[in-house]
Structures are given as structure tokens and as C-alpha cells.
Amino acid sequence: MKKILSILFVLTSLITYSQITITDINSIGDIVYQRNETPSSLLSVGSSGLNQNWDFSILNSNNATNTLVFLDPIGTTYEQQYPSATLCLNDNGTLSYYKQESNGLFLLGLGDTVFNSPALFFPLPLTYGLTLSDGPVVIIQESISGPLLSSYIPDSLVSVLTNGVANKAEEALIKITNSTDFIVDASGSMTTGLGIFDVLRLKLTAYTDSELDILCKDTITNQTTWITNVPFTSIPGLTSFSNNSIEYKYQWVTDDTSVSFLICEAVVDEFDNIIDEVSYQIAPPVSSIVNIEKNLLNVFPNPTSNVLNIDFTNKNNYSLSFVDINGRVLISKNVINNISLDISSFNKGIYFVLVKSDEDFFIKKIKID
């Protein structure tokens, strides 16, 4: 009996301490497919601790596929505004920019909105028991004036906000501060439609504090006064926003190279009840790709050396990108009709045409010889 207990103790020790470590995330050229689904009440984020098991195989939505394309920032729309960026994420047309360092991935900004200071997006390496806080970081600190300010804060609203002391908004200062707590509070295995994976569970608690100060003027006396800490709820166009918010989120990540590191993500309330759609990784939608290739477009000639023709069967709004093997966008266009691309200046090799409509996403490998 004593010998059996000793063996069980050794096995338990091996299981408990044989944990994965996440040292890297997506890189340039990766394409990840996701779906969002409102889960049933049977789905739970589970408990913290070692050797947990999460069965999310119940997630099997027919919702549209969300496509994430990881790009080289060079050649993208806002590359000049992010000279230190090492990675760009194209999330269905929305670009975000990141810099990866040894201690994590830092978010530099969204589109043309460059953060005042980088915010930690993912700490690295991720190991069970990691506890880390980032911030407070001032990500936005901007002055707004002119027509944009007047559209949000018209003269009539200024009179209300100042009790008749002023009647025009001269300037608005907005300051957004972000703080995030990261805790790797569980590890174990997760089952999804893609298979079974060793995972770590990362809990994120994000605090966002926004301050709005408005400089108001009496156009008769020219006297000015500041109104500080204006609640967003008092501004008609901002009533859906809060000056102070907290978001709780769980993410399950893996070191399995057959998939992207982020397997699943769920937004919860403070009691760990899932309150929003669950985002989860899926396999490339092969049937969708075949359908769009056969019915919506034709790419020719392939191989080619000078001109690439792309013919669309239906008129629609398409986002088209011509990308090299490293994920760098060489040509980016919004198109409706057939188009011919001059590719004579590009070196020989393998490239990709990425075409997105509201319904589908299509990737075609092209050879330049």
C-alpha cells in the first residue's frame, strides 16, 4: 500500500508541475479564423488551479467567420505613424499596431489613433501563476476643437452645462487612462472543434478611466471657464460610453504550433458569468473559400510575370490586398469591378491575393516567374 501511494504521489507531481509556457505569439504572415457565439447557459469558464478541463466543443456556430491577418507594418496604411511597430493586425479591415519585446506584446494604437504610451497587450512569457499589472498608462491625451467639437457640444448644450454662464465650446481635452491586471490562474486541457489542447487560462481585468474637460466661452463678454470631469452621459453623442469602466475577460492560450496561440476568449462579469459572445478559433473555412473562388472571382494568369487579372462575377464592395510571403501588403485597394494589377516590379516568388467581402474571405496563392 505504501508503495502504491508513493507511485501515485510521483505521478501527481509530474502532472502538476509539467506545465506549458507560452513564449511567442502570432507572427507576420499568420492568418487566423474565428467565430463569435452566444453560448448556452451550460458553458462555464470553470475554476482556477492546476489540471483543469474545459470542454467548449459545444461551440459550433454558423455565424460569419472573422479573419485576422498578421502583417508586416511596412506597406500598411498607417506605417509612418508607427515607426517602432513590429506587427500589424488586420481584423476585417481594422488595423492595429504592436511592438513585441521580450516581456510582452505592446499595443501602440488603433488605425490613425496613436496611443500616447504603449499599453501591454500580452505579457510574455506566460506561465502558470504569473501575476502582473500594467499601468496606469495614459493612452489618449488629445485636444479637440473646431467643427468636430461643435458637432458634439453645440452652443445650446454649453448653456445647459454652464447654467447660462457661457454659450460656446472653445476646446475639449480628453484623457484616457488604462490599467490592466494579468493573472494566469489556471492550466489544463481545452476541447474545441479543433481538438484537445494543453492550455493556460489568462484572466485580464482592464480598468479604463476617461476625463473630459471643456473650455467654454461667453461670446458677449469673451470670458472663459473650464468645466472639468464632464460625464459622458451629458453629451448626446457619448451617452453609451462611461467615464469609468471595468472589463473582465478570460483567454485560453496554447503552445501547440498546429493552431494559433489564442484558442478561445470569453467576457464575463465580476462573478465569472459569461455576459457576451465567446470568440473561438476555427479551421479555415474551406467550403467558403471554394464557393467564392468558383462563383465570385477568377484570378489569372497564374503563374504570371507582368499583369494579374482579377475578374468578379458580381458587383460588390471588395477589399483586395496583394501580399508577399512574409505578410507584407504590397498593394491594397477597395474594388467593385474587375481589376488588373501591375506586378512587373516584384521579384520572382510566391505571393497571395486576399479578397474580402461582407460574406466571405478568399486567399489565392500566386507565383511570379
Kindly state whether residue 10 falls inside one of the protein's structural domains.
no
Secondary structure (H, E, C), the chain = CHHHHHHHHHHHHHHHHCCCCECCCCCCCCEEEEEEECCCCCCCCCCCEEEEEEECCCCCCCCCCEEEEEEECCCCCCHHHCCCCCEEEEECCEEEEEEEECCEEEEEEECCEEEEEEEEEEECCECCCCEEEEEEEEEEEEEECHHHHHHHCCHHHHHHHCCCCCCEEEEEEEEEEEEEEEEEEEEEEEEECCEEEEEEEEEEEEEEEEEEEEEEECCCCCCEEEECCCCHHHCHHHCCCCCEEEEEEEEEECCCCCCCCEEEEEEECCCCCECCCEEEEECCCHHHHHHHHHHCEEEECCCECCEEEEEECCCCCEEEEEEECCCEEEEEEEECCCEEEECCCCCCEEEEEEEECCCCEEEEEEEEC
Same domain, yes or no, for 271 and 182? yes
Kindly state whether residue 51 falls inside one of the protein's structural domains.
yes
Same domain, yes or no, for 336 and 229? no
Q: Is the pTM of this model over 0.75?
A: no
Last residue in a domain, options 251, 282, 313: 282
Instruction: Give the count of domains, the chain.
Output: 2
Look up the domain containing 199 and give its range.
19-282
Same domain, yes or no, for 200 and 99? yes
pLDDT at 236: 87
pLDDT at 29: 75
Last residue in a domain, options 282, 311, 329: 282
Same domain, yes or no, for 144 and 26? yes
pLDDT at 285: 57
Q: What is the pLDDT along the chain (369 residues), one digit of tens a residue?
A: 344 434 333 333 334 445 799 988 888 878 888 989 988 788 999 999 999 999 999 988 877 778 888 888 887 889 899 999 999 998 877 899 999 998 999 999 999 999 999 999 999 999 999 999 999 999 999 999 999 898 989 999 999 999 999 999 999 999 999 999 999 999 999 999 889 999 999 999 999 999 999 999 999 999 999 999 999 999 988 888 899 999 999 999 999 988 889 999 999 999 999 998 899 998 765 444 444 444 567 888 989 988 999 888 777 778 888 887 655 678 888 888 888 999 999 988 878 888 876 666 677 778 898
pLDDT at 362: 72
Same domain, yes or no, for 272 and 345? no
pLDDT at 269: 94
Kindly state whether residue 6 falls inside one of the protein's structural domains.
no
pLDDT at 217: 94
pLDDT at 358: 61
Kindly state whether residue 4 falls inside one of the protein's structural domains.
no
Same domain, yes or no, for 174 and 321? no
Kindly state whether residue 153 falls inside one of the protein's structural domains.
yes
Same domain, yes or no, for 143 and 223? yes
pLDDT at 296: 66
pLDDT at 3: 40
Q: What is the CATH number of the domain that holds 332?
A: 2.60.40.3080
